[in-house]
Amino acid sequence: MEIVKLNRRDVKKAAGVLSSAFFHYPSFSFYFPDSERRSRYLSWYLGNVLSCALRYGEAYTTPDVAGVVFTLPPGHTKVSLWEYIQNGFLMAPIFLGLRNYRRSMECEAFIEHAHKAMMGNRPHYYLWGLAVEPGRAAQGIGSALMQPVLSKADSGKLPIYLETHNEKNVRYYQRHGFELIKSAKISKYGLQVWCMVREPSPKM
């Protein structure tokens, strides 16, 4: 299966794929509890995330944009608030609503703290997101999308970190060499997170 780098002209289409795949994802359902608002703005939100990934890291897709994976590199696995604003998030408090925006920021801070606690200052890649168009699931697209990410990390002898809010994803990532290292809950909101790490393959 051919995997290519995501071109900026395809960001809007890729954001649509992410929005469809993540529409019922726990964190986005929490950030956008109103489904109508989620339908209107989730693609915008995820398009901005992809813009950050393209500016500071990498994103891969298929020629027909059936899925997308995006990562941040060693040394830049955290995007600052100013960097988010530079990539389109200035309107986030309006589009999410002030209350939901504050709650989302609390959750993002919790996730960043867990990331830091797990990896410290150890150089690593951050697998920020992976999704496949719902109608194309179970065709091996997700596995193919991950290959350039895994290969690059193995070549550099570096680990990859990720977190997921969906427990069903844990087994999927375990099949690709990731190990579950922590499960935590944002007790104030009951939002669960599973933190995983893939160590570099010794074959490389």
At residue 203, the pLDDT reads 64
Contact 30, 107 (CB under 8 A): yes
**121, pLDDT greater than 80:** yes
Residue with tokens 């933190």: 195
Supply angle C-alpha 61, 159, 45, rounded to 5: 40
- What sign for the dihedral angle of Cα 34, 40, 45, 47? positive
At residue 94, the pLDDT reads 93
pLDDT tens, 135-189?
Answer: 888 789 999 999 999 999 999 999 999 999 999 999 999 999 999 999 999 888 8
Give the global pTM.
0.94
Contact 128, 57 (CB under 8 A): yes
Mean pLDDT of 94-120: 93
Share the mean pLDDT of the chain. 94
What residue ranges define each of the domains in the chain, with the CATH number in brackets?
4-198 (3.40.630.30)
CA distance 87 to 141: 28
Contact 46, 82 (CB under 8 A): no
Mean pLDDT of 7-34: 96
> What backbone torsions phi and psi does residue 163 show, to the nearest 5 degrees?
-135, 155
Reported residue count of the chain is 204
At residue 95, the pLDDT reads 94
